[in-house]
Structure 1
Amino acid sequence: MHLCPICRRKLGLPPTVQAEPLNKTLAGIIDHFFPDQVSARREALAQDETGLDIEKNLALFICTLSFPTMPTFLHIFEPRYRLMIRRVVENGDGKFGMVMYNRRSRTQPGAEEYMCYGTLLLIERYELLPDGRSLVIANGVSRFKVLEAGVLDGYHVGQVERVDDVSLAEEERLELAETSGPANPAPESEPEGQAVDSLPPVDSMSTQQLLDASREFIGRQRRAAAPWLHPRIMLAYGPVPNDAARYPWWLACVLPLSEEEKYPILAATSVRERLKIAARWGREIEARDL
């Protein structure tokens, strides 16, 4: 499997192996045809390195939304973030947190300038430019919540707690509880002109049905030549995932909604809940298109 230099060091590979040049062609083929497996391996590796649920003094980049298993592309030019990224690279772990601005000045514990839920990123590629700027590709590993906020040499740091999903047993219990209601639940409100029975309440749908419905939405948007499904976007984030756990993160990256609308998905602690959010996003997009 293709590994960046940071990952090679984490695996404890001999220096001679660490120094071997990357086979970019092979890496590209693996990333293209096996995106789910590559992302899962990176996530497992980074989780092993993360260790405890609470991490102190995690460097925080206040910029945008990032999501687990998905890439984030950054152009680093501010002096404070140049320093932060250089330190992240030099200390060997390649980890930092991404959080979005608190544009609506929401009251929340731990932070004021930025939202308290964010994503732990692992640097995959780092290119230092002659003038000190840098280009970074980082992969989303896991989610966190900021418990305490601080500043170090101009950039933000935080004590963060990892956010994990509920157990598989709890996932199944939630699905059973929601889908074992009335046999014919009342449909949700839908745009005028759309069949009433075509939009069952998302809560009544099984987890698999939620995934299938959202993927069908992508198919309809492709046939309508939606600009947000441009080949360049697909190249950046990969093909539509079949994996229910990964699909909502992919959709959150490509969907043309505001960050404020996407933010709740970071706090959701079950695959099912994220798929319900994804299904509602699709319905909202199609309602706007009518």
Structure 2
Amino acid sequence: MSLQQEADDALQERSAFFIGADSDNVSLEEDHHQLILQKANALASENCLKDAIDWFTLAMRYGPMEPEQLSTFVDCIVRNFKRKAARPDALPGQSQDAGSNSRDDVFDCPSCRSFLGEPITLACGHSYCKRCLQRRLLSKCKLCRETVRGEEKANVILCGLLEKWFPDELSRTKTICEVEGLCRKKCYKEAVSLATDVIQRPEATALARLSRAEAYMALKQYRLALEDTEFCAMFRKAMVLHEMGQVDESLQAFLQCLAVDEDFPCAKRQVEKILCDLLCPDDESVKVGVRETTQNTSPRLRSKTLVSDAQTQPLSPVQRRHQHQKRWESLERQGLSRAHSLRVHTSDCGEEGLKRVCSAPQLGDQEKGSLLKRKLSTSDTEPCLVASGSSKHKKQVPEELLDPNDLECSLCMLFYEPVTTPCGHTFCKNCLERCLDHTPQCPLCKESLKEYLACRKYNVTSILDTLIKQFWSQQSAERTKSHLEETKELSLTKNVPIFVCTMAYPTVPCPLHVFEPRYRLMIRRCMETGTRQFGMCINDPQKFVDYGCILTVRSVHFLPDGRSVVDTIGGKRFRVLSRGMKDGYSTADIEYLEDTRVEDGDELESLQELHDEVYEQARVWFQNLKIHFHNQILQHFGPMPEREADIQATPNGPACCWWLLAVLPIDPRYQLSVLSMTSLKERLVKIQHILTYLQSIPSN
């Protein structure tokens, strides 16, 4: 069922109850207002723009609304605006590629298209100029849609490179920042003078005009500000128009901004406020605006009035119910099927141009809605001006300034998968992770990285990765080859990583709390290589024992301080052939163990009988446990496995044997001896002896 159908059903159900209610009941009126708003949002969600305008206008008459409540309405308007702009017969500048992010200059900010200047790298790995982030000109990354926090510091490596490679560009960017600083201090005349000096240079950028336009606007020199904004972003032009009181023109400009970038929060917020003002009735309109609308010469507007003149007269309860009934009948008859007449009304005034709603205070709410539809319906006749603030030509790095030492990780060599921390320092991804295994601080400035560690979003800094592959392709290829070879060595063939900790068994869960730096590294490598496996052995005087079990990682829950809770389950058993060490943790060459299959019929039948006998004995023992121990076993190891039809179906034998071995209170050395057996019969006999002994002990 669609949102619109749900809203219709809710309105119909509510109408039956509302007709018999007293109109003085405030809670019922509020509920009625919410239902109408729900209907309006449903229409907006389904792109029914003109009908949505009617319902939002009606909702305004039943109660006040905040601009934020028109968010769905704004989204609907933007979708319609973009669809018109994408038509084949759209004017030049209106094409859907007008706001494309495709740029061939890596040194331009993806948001304002200006030189990066003082770049800041976000958690997603993409870099923006400091100006865009400080002024909160974007809420999501334009390249990957990741939410922008805007709390990161300038990228130290990138700042150094840009200062070395493009000193003139950087100087202009700093001057523009000074202009904006003067504007914040309200030194507008000084800001105009400094910006004019930058604009008069041959290599002036549109960003300088944008800054000067802001100063002109503060000085109320609107004509000069408009001249500058022709070279700048449409948003600034929209702000100037709105400041001058030209609401309809500013609305068009704001919509053009959102057509290019629908996640531009400032533009969307301005559209919400304008729509709220246009739809909201004045103080007088609340009382007499509807009455004026009914007396209007337009038969269409007169026929759609939902409240009669009798509303101003005292009404009896019977009259109130009758009035509500008429209101709902009119709502269902006209409010839900008025699109055709509205389209006719809109087309009638196509040549009249845009009329400002605020300039006609005598208009009622219905006329305001009609004029708003007229305004939005003519949006496809306006040219879309989206100026770029970037330079015209791709910036070339002087070859004599290329030095691989500028892109060396402070912990190893040339960057491989460079990652930038919130404090602005850059490291190889592997280098950073290994440092954070030991302490949650930046290796250079010692700033706390606890929040960064908790998120664990170590995304590669795209611009640095691009520069390395472009200018130092050979060294980059060598680093990639070395990394792939190291990853191959970590695969589960030889040098298997060994976690020296506890006993593990096939098919039995084994939760682990990982806190040591060496095992943090080991678990991370198991996940990165894709094996998701490592060996588990218990300790002994010779580092670790000769037998163990492979564990498979099912999930990893990372804690904010770098520790992790790893959920694993037992797999194959193995025997250690040789031991080794790698980066602090143990490794081993191993061979896997398998049970010897029984093929003889009589022997197999005898083995089956022994298995059934041990299984029944174990079931009785488990049922007779005290409730405390019984629940504890269930919590840690789960229920006892079901009896298996084929006890030799897997190389490790039936799962019940390993579950029993894990839960029985016996010495780990004895458990290890059973784990190393390759005879199912011997294993069953050992377990039977243990169960017999435990059942012989009298319970207290």
**Where does 1:133-282 land on structure 2 (aligned, <5 Å)?**
133-169=563-599, 206-225=607-626, 227-230=628-631, 232-241=632-641, 242-243=643-644, 244=647, 245-282=654-691
Q: Which amino acid aligns with 1:143?
A: R
Q: Distance in 2 between matches of 1:256 and 1:97?
A: 23
**Where does 1:37-48 land on structure 2 (aligned, <5 Å)?**
none
Do residues 58 (structure 1) and 496 (structure 2) align? Answer: yes
- Give the Å deviation of 1:260: 1.5
Task: Provide the secondary structure at the position in 1 that maps to 2:640.
Answer: coil
In structure 2, relative to structure 1, the CA distance for the partners of 1:134 and 1:148 (3 Å cut) is same
Deviation track 1:9-43 (CA, whole Å, cap 9, x = no partner) reads xxxxxxxxxxxxxxxxxxxxxxxxxxxxxxxxxxx
Work out which structure has the larger RCO, using CA pairs closer than 8 Å and 6 or more positions apart in sequence: 1
- Give the Å deviation of 1:261: 2.0
Q: Distance in 2 between matches of 1:80 and 1:118?
A: 20
Q: Which amino acid aligns with 2:582?
A: L
- Give the Å deviation of 1:126: 0.7
Q: Distance in 2 between matches of 1:152 and 1:224?
A: 44
Higher strand share: 1
- Give the Å deviation of 1:165: 1.1
Deviation track 1:114-167 (CA, whole Å, cap 9, x = no partner) reads 111000111001111111100001111110001000010110000000111112
* Of 533, 551, 554, the match for 1:121: 551
Q: Distance in 1 between matches of 2:602 and 2:574?
A: 25
Q: Which runs of 5+ in 1 are unaligned?
A: 1-53, 106-111, 180-205
Q: Which amino acid aligns with 1:159?
A: D
Q: Distance in 1 between matches of 2:563 and 2:693?
A: 39
- Give the Å deviation of 1:213: 3.4
Q: Which amino acid aligns with 2:629?
A: W
In structure 2, relative to structure 1, the CA distance for the partners of 1:208 and 1:238 (3 Å cut) is farther
In structure 2, relative to structure 1, the CA distance for the partners of 1:61 and 1:224 (3 Å cut) is closer
- Give the Å deviation of 1:284: 2.3
The number of residues matched between the two structures is: 199
- Give the Å deviation of 1:226: 6.2
Deviation track 1:227-268 (CA, whole Å, cap 9, x = no partner) reads 4322x4224323222135111100011111121121111111
Question: Do 1:228 and 1:254's aligned partners in 2 also have CA atoms closer than 8 Å?
Answer: no
| Structure-2 residue corresponding to 1:73 | 511
Question: Do 2:499 and 2:535's aligned partners in 1 also have CA atoms closer than 8 Å?
Answer: yes
Q: Distance in 2 between matches of 1:224 and 1:56?
A: 43
Q: Is 253-262 or 234-243 further displaced after alignment? A: 234-243
| Runs of 4+ in structure 1 over 6 Å off | none
Q: Percent identity?
A: 32
- Could you state the TM-score of these two structures normalised by the residue count of structure 2? 0.27
Task: Provide the secondary structure at the position in 1 that maps to 2:599.
Answer: helix
| Structure-2 residue corresponding to 1:86 | 524
Task: Provide the secondary structure at the position in 2 that maps to 1:55.
Answer: coil
- Give the Å deviation of 1:224: 4.5
In structure 2, relative to structure 1, the CA distance for the partners of 1:133 and 1:61 (3 Å cut) is same
Larger radius of gyration: 2
In structure 2, relative to structure 1, the CA distance for the partners of 1:82 and 1:212 (3 Å cut) is same
Q: Distance in 1 between matches of 2:614 and 2:552?
A: 32
Please give the root-mean-square deviation of Cα atoms over the aligned residues, in Å.
Answer: 2.2
Q: Which runs of 5+ in 2 are unaligned?
A: 1-491, 648-653
Q: Which amino acid aligns with 2:610?
A: Q
